[in-house]
Amino acid sequence: MKFETPLFVIMICVLAWSLTSVLGRIILLEYNLAPATFTFIQMLSGGFALVLLNPKRIKSIGFVPLKQLHTWGFGSFRVISASFYSGSFLYLTATNTAFLGGTAISLSVIFVWLLLGRKPKWIELPGHIVLLISWYFLAMEIDGQFSNPGIWLLLVSQVFITFAIILGETHPLNQNNNSGDTLYLTGMLLVASAVILLSLSYAASLVEAQLPADYYPILRGHIAGFVLRDMFNPYAWICGFLTGASFRAAAIYYSLRAVKLASSEFYLGSMAMMPFVNMGLEAIATRLGYLPYMALEPKLIMYGIILSAASFYISFFKRGK
């Protein structure tokens, strides 16, 4: 599309991910749905919706994306990243998780350098230094500091999401500028991700079944969260389809467009604006009575703002590959 500039794509991508997150949280609380089931339905319905919207590409491209390792690697890394990210919620607030996730751009710069040979510029160094310092002070303000498991779960999540985004950038079917091809690829990626989540959910159910009832309740509860339940709940399918075929599909599509038009580092760095969009949407939802009130700690917000500013600084120099 002619109007798709890197800035436009990133803004839509951030909004789509924020709406997916906040609406998903509202729906999960309202109907007490299993998170894995809801996510599975979102992926499956969003994937099939995008594939069926492209009948010409069903004939011309067909199942080629499902035969490529990039597709399954992208889906696997995204699902695994999501599991660790969700695990961090057991120990961290949503706002702190979003801010601490700003380390993704520094990780991406390292991995892109090692894997794709794209050397960072010296002018980016001040941004990385400020980012790491603010991340350190933010972590020191959190309960338990570096002994808090949530920090390490989140770091692992960032490693996997970085690999997923790099695979998205280098995917063979994401090398042209045809938005229709990208839409079709997005659909196939979502279908593959749903299959992977289904497989991991089955594995999680086997692990959960072997654990004693009193064995690490927090760990058991986290594993249980990735077991598919409520598969015959009509609210899960209605809400999952509506959000999956719209916001989640848009988020993945614009993620692919962002790394195509700019770079993996630019995409991950620009996502630093997501915490602020999340806070705005959650404030609206709270005022309307859809979410419980949560107080924001000024010092943590200050460090988060500094961290985000450093990410934007680095992103400015990562607009091209």
State the residue for tokens 């045809």.
Answer: 178
pLDDT in tens, 3-34: 678 888 989 999 998 898 888 888 877 888 87
DSSP of 107-118, one letter per residue?
HHHHHHHHHH--
What is the model's pLDDT at position 216?
A: 61
Tell whether 321 is covered by a domain.
no
The CA distance from 140 to 128, in Å, is: 18
Tell whether 243 is covered by a domain.
yes
The CA distance from 75 to 180, in Å, is: 20
Tell whether 274 is covered by a domain.
yes
Domain that holds residue 243: 6-316
Q: CA 300, 305, 307: angle at the middle one, nearest 5? A: 95
DSSP of 167-215, one letter per residue?
HHHH-GGGSS--HHHHHHHHHHHHHHHHHHHHHHHHHHHHHHHHS-TTS
What is the model's pLDDT at position 13?
A: 92
Number of domains the chain contains: 1
Q: Give helix 298-316 / helix 125-140 axis angle, nearest 10°.
A: 160
Tell whether 68 is covered by a domain.
yes
Q: Taking a C-beta distance cutoff of 8 angstroms, is the pair 92, 85 a contact?
A: no
**For residue 317, how far is the Cα from the chain centroid?**
23
What is the model's pLDDT at position 89?
A: 67
- Return the closest-CA partner of residue 99 out of 259, 300, 247, 291: 300
The CA distance from 152 to 263, in Å, is: 26
The CA distance from 167 to 249, in Å, is: 18
Q: Where are the alpha helices (DSSP H) in the chain?
A: 6-31, 35-52, 55-60, 69-88, 94-100, 104-116, 125-140, 149-170, 179-210, 217-224, 234-243, 249-261, 264-270, 274-287, 298-316
What is the model's pLDDT at position 220?
A: 64
Tell whether 252 is covered by a domain.
yes
What is the model's pLDDT at position 224?
A: 64
Residues of the chain with pLDDT under 50: none
The CA distance from 74 to 54, in Å, is: 21
The CA distance from 162 to 133, in Å, is: 21
What is the model's pLDDT at position 215?
A: 63
Q: Taking a C-beta distance cutoff of 8 angstroms, is the pair 199, 227 a contact?
A: no
Contacts of residue 235, defined as CB under 8 A and 6 or more positions apart, other chains included, come to 27, 31, 33
What is the model's pLDDT at position 221?
A: 65
State the residue for tokens 């072997």.
Answer: 210
